Amino acid sequence: EVVANRMGMIPLTFDEKTYIMKKDCKCEGKGCSNCQVSLVLKKKGPAIVYSGDMKTTDKSVLPVYDRIPITELFEGQSIELEATAQLGVGREHAKWQGAVVGYKLEDGKKDNFVFNVESISGIEVSRVVTKSAEILEAKFDEFGKAVKKLK
């Protein structure tokens, strides 16, 4: 369970054009090459198992950092597993959070803010901000349509 949790929190790079959310996939959430990728981990002790030891079926999907420790194996121990990675949103689980954001008032002015966005995923900060703005815009449009229906 601990190994599964640690592996689930390792940020992975991926091609946005290749993968889609399971809920939006034609496979209806069953899992296919459009909405998930397999990762294989196989190592014998004594050794420290790192994120870079994971191998994927898609070479564009890799750990953002190769040296994230997963577990330590002692003499006579080994690990062999296959895992599945899929896209998700941070609201469902922290492992899918794309970035952390902080803000402060600029020079004490009430309406001026300085935002600090740090990517904790395989996605560039500029893409995180752009995609977030697109999602917010879609939600505002949906909200506006719902309000118009009330009139």
Distance CA 78, CA 42 (A): 8
- Tens digit of pLDDT for each residue in 102-140? 999 888 788 888 989 998 888 889 999 999 999 999 999
Are the CB atoms for 115 and 103 separated by under 8 Å? yes
- Tens digit of pLDDT for each residue in 8-33? 999 998 888 889 988 889 998 888 99
For residue 3, the 8-state DSSP code is H
What secondary structure, in 3-state letters, does 57-80 show?
Answer: CCCCCCECCCCCEEEEECCCCEEE
Statement to judge: residues 122 and 49 lie in one domain: no
Give the CA radius of gyration of the chain. 20
Its domain, for residue 140, covers 98-150
Statement to judge: residues 8 and 46 lie in one domain: yes
**Per-residue pLDDT, 96:** 85
Residues β-bridged to residue 38: 84
Q: Is residue 67 part of a domain?
A: yes
**Per-residue pLDDT, 139:** 95
Statement to judge: residues 8 and 75 lie in one domain: yes
Q: Is residue 128 part of a domain?
A: yes
6 three-state secondary structure: helix
Q: Is residue 16 part of a domain?
A: yes
Q: Is residue 146 part of a domain?
A: yes
DSSP H/E element including 129: helix 125-150
Q: Is residue 92 part of a domain?
A: no
Cβ neighbours around 110 below 10 Å, total: 7
Tokens of 52: 């870079």
Number of domains in the chain: 2
| CATH number for the domain that contains residue 6 | 2.170.120.12
Are the CB atoms for 39 and 85 separated by under 8 Å? yes
Statement to judge: residues 74 and 10 lie in one domain: yes
Name the domain boundary from 33, 66, 86. 86
